[in-house]
């Protein structure tokens, strides 16, 4: 599954190869709430076909109309704004007084889209710098602090797997979780030393390694843009990954299992060289409580919690699986007349 923005780049390259004029629209800045973040992209073909999005739809419709009517035909990249006035904000579905600023870039061989795609295929994260006065784009490997920026002359966007995910286990749940996580733009590594699982892996976009889980964690050199999820239910594998992952700055470390299993897991981890603070970082049982029963539902539950952690959202304790289940048990006991 391609992420939205990767699909934009692929469609743009294809349309250029077919000889179509293509306008690449990128979100530069927003004021007020916005459905798409800075750096989000939309490609519009000369006949109005499009890929991607930069808003809830109204801005896309206006841009398509202007492209089809040849009202937008910039020879070089330009910046435009929507929603400066309250009337425009209402018309384009923006909050009253809100603004979205866009870079409109006519694509050509100088744009380097094919080169970006080639770099992404190797797993690199690319910093693309567009000279607004010439339309020439230059590429280099992105650093950890590179992000969308504009100084009036050069527009910078970052393409590639901004976040990484290490999944321990190559079973059915891992496949469902991986398919959705790929659409969320994660670069995914699946670790499973068990041949009967790893040999049957069928998602080519996720790299599979057959090393022991602790070695996989160490080899990946996890950073603050990394998540680790253990899904094997086998302490011999899950614990090896967790004892190393909890020492890293990974923004999310979670493990599947029941509340009882999670308590036993934490007790085992305490026997290793982990501090209480490090063990407390473990999300277990992983996920938010949505009553999930099937592997696809469990995958959604886990990825919802991962997404909240990535976005810096502090979920209320009741959203967690363990707390929610304790609460429901308490309600059932009270309803049945048991002492509270």
74 and 212 belong to one structural domain: no
**What is the rounded average pLDDT of the residues 258-275?**
93
| Alpha helices in 43-169, H assignment, sequence order | 58-68, 86-91, 113-121
Q: Treating both helix axes as pointing N-terminal to C-terminal, what angle do 213-220 and 235-245 enclose, rounded to 10 degrees? A: 20
Reported as a pLDDT band with limits 50, 70 and 90, residue 250 is very high
Residues 150 and 170 in one domain: no
Crossing angle of helices 113-121/4-17, nearest 10°? 130
- For residue 87, the model assigns a pLDDT of 64
For residues 149 and 189, membership in a common domain is answered with no
Res 289 pLDDT > 50: yes
| Inside any domain, residue 128 | yes
User: Does a structural domain hold residue 322?
Assistant: no
Statement to judge: residues 109 and 144 lie in one domain = yes
3-state secondary structure (DSSP) of residue 230: strand
Together in a domain, 308 and 292: yes
- Tell me if 55 sits within 8 A of 35, measured CB to CB: yes
State the Cα–Cα distance between residues 255 and 319, nearest whole angstrom. Answer: 16
Residues 148 and 172 in one domain: no
Of the listed ranges 10-14, 283-287, 321-325, 332-336, the least confidently predicted one is: 332-336
| Better-predicted residue by pLDDT, 282 or 2 | 282
Choice between 299 and 145, residue whose per-residue pLDDT is larger? 299
Domain boundary among the residues 104, 124, 159 is at 159
- Both 178 and 87 in one domain: the answer is no
d(CA 207, CA 188): 6
- DSSP H/E element including 251: none
252 within some domain = yes
Q: How confident is the model at residue 5 (pLDDT cuts 50, 70, 90)?
A: confident
Last residue of a domain, one of 110, 132, 159: 159
Which structural domain range is residue 43 located in?
Answer: 4-159
| Residues 167, 62 within the same domain | no
Q: How far is CA 281 from the centre of its chain?
A: 21
The two three-digit tokens of residue 140, written as one number: 């280099």
**Domain contains 325:** no
Q: Does 86 or 203 have the greater pLDDT score?
A: 203
On whether residue 137 sits in a domain, the answer given is yes
Within a domain: residue 82?
yes
Whole-number Å distance between alpha carbons of 111 and 41: 14
Nearest Cα to 288, choosing from 316, 312, 261, 258?
A: 316
**Is residue 242 located within the same domain as residue 294?**
yes
pLDDT of residue 318: 87
User: Among 130, 159, 188, where does a domain finish?
Assistant: 159
Greatest alpha-carbon span in the chain: 76
Q: What is the pLDDT of residue 83?
A: 75
Together in a domain, 72 and 175: no
- Judging by DSSP bridges, how do beta strands 154-159 and 126-131 pair with one another? antiparallel
In a domain, 191, yes or no: yes
Angle at alpha carbon of residue 3, lines to 173 and 155, rounded to 5°: 145
pLDDT at position 339 over 60: no
If asked whether residues 109 and 63 sit together in one domain, one would say yes
Domain tally, the chain: 2
User: pLDDT value at position 86?
Assistant: 59
Over range 24-29, report the average pLDDT.
Answer: 94
In the structure, how many helices (H) and strands (E) does the chain have? 12, 14
Q: Outline where 82-198 has alpha helix (H).
A: 86-91, 113-121, 172-183, 195-198
Across 56-65, average pLDDT:
84
Q: What is the CATH number of the domain that holds 272?
A: 3.40.50.720
* The predicted structure's pLDDT at residue 338: 52
At residue 58, what are phi and psi to the nearest 5 degrees?
Answer: -65, -40
Residue 143 lies in a domain: yes
Model pTM score:
0.63
- Locate 132 and state its tokens: 């607004």
Same domain, 42 and 147: yes
Average of per-residue pLDDT across 207-220: 96
């Amino acid at each position: 599954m391609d992420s939205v923005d990767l699909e934009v780049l692929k469609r743009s390259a294809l349309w250029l190869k077919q000889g179509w004029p293509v306008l690449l629209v990128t979100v530069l800045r927003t004021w007020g709430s916005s459905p798409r973040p800075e750096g989000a992209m939309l490609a519009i073909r000369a006949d109005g076909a499009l890929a991607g999005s930069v808003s809830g739809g109204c801005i896309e419709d206006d841009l398509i109309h202007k492209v089809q009517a040849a009202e937008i035909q910039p020879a070089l990249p330009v910046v435009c704004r929507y929603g400066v006035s309250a009337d425009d904000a209402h018309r384009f579905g923006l909050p009253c007084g809100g603004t979205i600023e866009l870079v409109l870039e006519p694509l050509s061989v100088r744009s380097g889209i094919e080169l970006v795609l080639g770099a992404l295929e190797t797993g690199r994260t690319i910093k693309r710098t567009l000279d607004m006065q010439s339309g020439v784009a230059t590429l280099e490997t992105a650093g950890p602090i590179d992000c969308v920026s504009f100084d009036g002359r050069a527009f910078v966007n970052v393409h590639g797997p901004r976040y990484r995910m290490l999944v321990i286990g190559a079973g059915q749940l891992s496949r469902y979780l991986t398919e959705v996580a790929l659409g969320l733009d994660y670069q995914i590594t699946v670790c499973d030393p068990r041949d009967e699982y790893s040999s049957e892996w069928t998602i080519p976009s996720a790299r599979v390694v057959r090393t022991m889980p602790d070695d996989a964690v160490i080899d990946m050199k996890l950073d603050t843009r990394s998540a680790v999820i253990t899904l094997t239910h086998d302490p011999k594998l899950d614990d090896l990954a967790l004892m190393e992952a909890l020492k890293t700055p990974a923004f999310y470390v979670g493990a599947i299992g029941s509340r009882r299993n999670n308590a036993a897991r934490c007790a085992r981890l305490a026997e290793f060289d982990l501090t209480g603070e490090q063990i407390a970082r473990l999300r277990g049982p992983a996920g938010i409580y949505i009553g999930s029963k099937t592997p696809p539902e469990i995958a959604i539950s886990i990825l919802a919690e991962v997404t909240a952690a990535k976005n810096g959202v502090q979920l209320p304790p009741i959203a967690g699986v363990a707390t929610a289940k304790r609460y429901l048990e308490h309600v059932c006991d009270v309803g049945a007349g048991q002492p509270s």
